[in-house]
Structure 1
């Protein structure tokens, strides 16, 4: 087994940890599984951990020469900061849905651009894309079922990102090496 926790450096680890915790809180809040806890209750975490921390991690990654990682974290930081500070405003459900769909495009871009990071890296961004797509369509269609489904997908994406960060710190595997599969099959 190899330990390729999506680059394994400190900015990647901190970025995945911040993204994971933010997505987990946002996702669980969107599902309605905890009484009296909604997605809006994650606004503080989204603003500071998801927004500011990811944006700073993105700037540090860009400074270190990691264009892909830096762009991803800075853009995700901008998304979470905007969402976290805009919760509770008098905007319409349609505006919220459009906002989520536009940011789903970012997640789709990140999914396609992260091909070199393997299935694990692509998986987190792919799940984020599906979550934002479901949440956006749910808001536009006034369909709470789609919103809850999007919340569950966001929570799973959060768990995956959190695991990636924890795996990097703890030295746990995130994928099977090609040679290990062949050896195990023999």
Structure 2
């Protein structure tokens, strides 16, 4: 790649958030069972190529541009999706699957805590991802379909948040709510 080519800018971040959002939506909806005949296993191709490879490359471009947090988030989550996508057909115990999900839940928790200055949308996306993976992991250990479904819903909502953030960046929509005045009767002029 030519050194004069700009890489890792807000367009890369937007692409990464779109990839994360779409993959989380497919993964989450697959776990909810809300669409008859659609399971999380149906999201494997999307997870492998969009969530895994595209997100990983977007993360590398973010690192190149000097964005350590976004680079870490995209490369780490790209590794998660690639690993999940390539291992989906493997015969593993429910406890091994639960441990995998719980370890990645810790990664998502680190992202949620690290995004404290990045706004409510980023914190919400990574916080919901943490809770979703946590419940999916615990559901594997407890053999609980109910926990898995709730975890799936949380992952799907995290996907919607990531998707909205990326779409808002493209469409120049607001990503924060306007702040209200500090008290009753306070106006803009004092």
Q: Normalising to structure 2: TM-score of the pair?
A: 0.90
Per-residue deviation at 1:96? 0.5
Residue deviations 1:27-61 (CA, integer Å, cap 9, x gap): 00000111111001100000000000110000000
Q: What secondary structure does 1:176 align onto?
A: coil
Note the alpha carbon deviations across 1:99-144, whole angstroms, 9 max, x for none: 0000000000000001111111110000000000000000111000
For residues 73-98 of structure 1, what are the alpha-carbon distances to aligned partners after superposition, in whole Å with 9 as ceiling and x for unaligned? 00000000000111021111111100
Equivalent residue number for residue 146 of structure 2: 145
Larger radius of gyration: 2
Provide the residue aligned with 2:159 in structure 1: 158
Q: Match of 1:23, SS?
A: helix
Compute the displacement of 1:11 (Å): 1.5
Q: Alpha carbon RMSD of aligned pairs, Å?
A: 1.5
**What is the aligned partner in structure 2 of residue 106 from structure 1?**
107
The corresponding residue for 1:182 is: 181
The unaligned stretches of length 5 or more in structure 1 are 1-7
After TM superposition, list the pairs within 5 Å mapping 1:78-157 onto structure 2.
78-157=79-158
The 5-angstrom pairing of residues 23-42 of structure 1 reads 23-42=24-43
SS at match of 1:182: coil
2:66 is paired with a residue whose SS is coil
| Runs of at least 5 residues in structure 2 that lack an aligned partner in the other structure | 1-8
Aligned match of 2:5 = none
Query: Which protein has greater RCO, CA pairs closer than 8 Å, 6+ apart?
Result: 1
CA distance in 2, matches of 1:166, 1:13: 8
Distance 1:65 1:45 in 2: 28
Per the TM alignment, residue 63 of structure 1 is displaced from its structure 2 partner at its CA by 0.5
What is the distance in 2 between the residues matched to 1:182 and 1:60? Answer: 40
Flag the structure with higher helix content.
Answer: 1
Give the number of aligned pairs.
177
1:49 alignment partner in structure 2: 50
Shift of residue 177, structure 1, vs aligned partner: 4.2
